[in-house]
Structure 1
Amino acid sequence: MTNPLDQAPTYIKLAVDLIMILEQHDVAPEEVLKALEIVKSDFEKKRTES
């Protein structure tokens, strides 16, 4: 039996991995959202610089 995640796009796999890591570390949702804003901003800047 194959895992449907095996066929998923890379960004879906990454999202699932990140969710699992954050849940395992019991990070408060408010803290996660603040951190994701920083991560998103950083990667958007990197995308425009390349």
Structure 2
Amino acid sequence: MTEKTSPLDNAPEDIKLAVDLIYLLESNEIAPEIALSALAMVKKDLEEKLKNKS
């Protein structure tokens, strides 16, 4: 039995995560403006974590 492979199997981790996030947002029918607002909050939080790490 052969396993099917996807082009994403060899993609960088950030690409895989982006695809997963897009799928999650679209499958839950999240409005783009809500998604962008939430992503801005996530970005700010992650940037703070990076700043505190260094």
Identify the TM-score tier after normalising by the shorter chain: over 0.9
Point out where structure 2 has 5 or more consecutive residues left out of the alignment.
none
Which aligned pairs between 1:24-43 and structure 2 lie closer than 5 A?
A: 24-43=27-46
Instruction: From the two aligned structures, give the one with the greater helix fraction.
Output: 1
Q: CA deviation at 1:47?
A: 0.7
Q: Secondary structure at the match of 1:2?
A: coil
Percent of aligned positions that are identical: 54
Aligned-pair RMSD on alpha carbons?
0.9
Could you tell me the TM-score, scaled by structure 2's length? Answer: 0.87
Could you tell me the TM-score, scaled by structure 1's length? Answer: 0.93
Summarize deviations over 1:26-49 as a string: whole Å, max 9, x none.
000000000000000000000111
Consecutive aligned runs of 4 or more in structure 1 exceeding 3 Å deviation: none
Point out where structure 1 has 5 or more consecutive residues left out of the alignment.
none
Q: CA deviation at 1:2?
A: 2.6
Q: Does 1:49 align with 2:48?
A: no
Q: For the pair shown, which has the larger CA radius of gyration, 1 or 2?
A: 2
